[in-house]
Amino acid sequence: MRLMPEFRQRLQVLQMLNYVDDGRAVLLKGRVARELNTVTCSLLATEIIFDNALDTLEPEEIVAMFSCLVFEEKGRQVTEPSLTPTLQACHQKLQETAKFVLGIQRECCVDVTEQEYMKNINIGLMEVVFEWGRGLPFSDICTLTDVQEGTIVRCIIRLDETCREIKSAARLIGDSSLFTKMEEASEKIKRDIVFATSLYVS
């Protein structure tokens, strides 16, 4: 019973963001959010998709952006990546969207701090994923960060799954352009040693 107030608060968040209606029926945004299981925050990812933030991005920029919601490196500081102006704008958009969602949660009295919520965004491999999507060899992208090779591989493999999830979301929405972009993004990152049979993926 002690969980009921928190349940009501989180339900109110979903209603205010139009994920469910007043009768608790799942709406389109809620159906899309259910598709996004590989990201750190499905609400944040869904808001990015519905805000048309991906419309002007190239496939390699989209996967770089979503790497921020997939890469989780805990316990140590990661080398600051060098970002293009577009990737900087992507990072800023993620932060703005996170603050918007956080504001709704606070309005509904959900107990979450800004510091805690912003941990859903990690730019540590944004440059690495972008350059991998552009075709840079694996040995070269490894020089861009101090993150271990196995962690890079696992992140990229997980991003390929994220691409499939966003394709499913695009199909639900009826966004053929996004569907095509995510197909291209998957093709760009699904190559070479990263997807070879190895200790990384066994």
Q: Distance between alpha carbon 4 and the CA centroid of its chain, in Å?
A: 29
- Note the pLDDT tens digit of each residue in 68-92: 999 987 655 678 899 999 999 999 9
| The model's pTM | 0.91
Q: Express each pLDDT in 91-117 by its tens digit.
A: 999 999 999 999 999 999 888 899 999
User: How do the domains of the chain map onto residue ranges?
Assistant: 4-195
Q: What is the DSSP string of 40-72?
A: S-HHHHHHHHHTTTTTT--HHHHHHHHHTTT--
pLDDT digits (tens, 9 = 90+) for 151-185: 999 999 999 999 999 999 999 999 999 999 999 99
Q: Which fold has domain 4-195?
A: Sec63 N-terminal domain-like fold (1.10.3380)
Q: What is the mean pLDDT of residues 4-13?
A: 87
pLDDT at residue 198 tops 70: no
Distance of CA 96 to the CA centre of its chain: 14
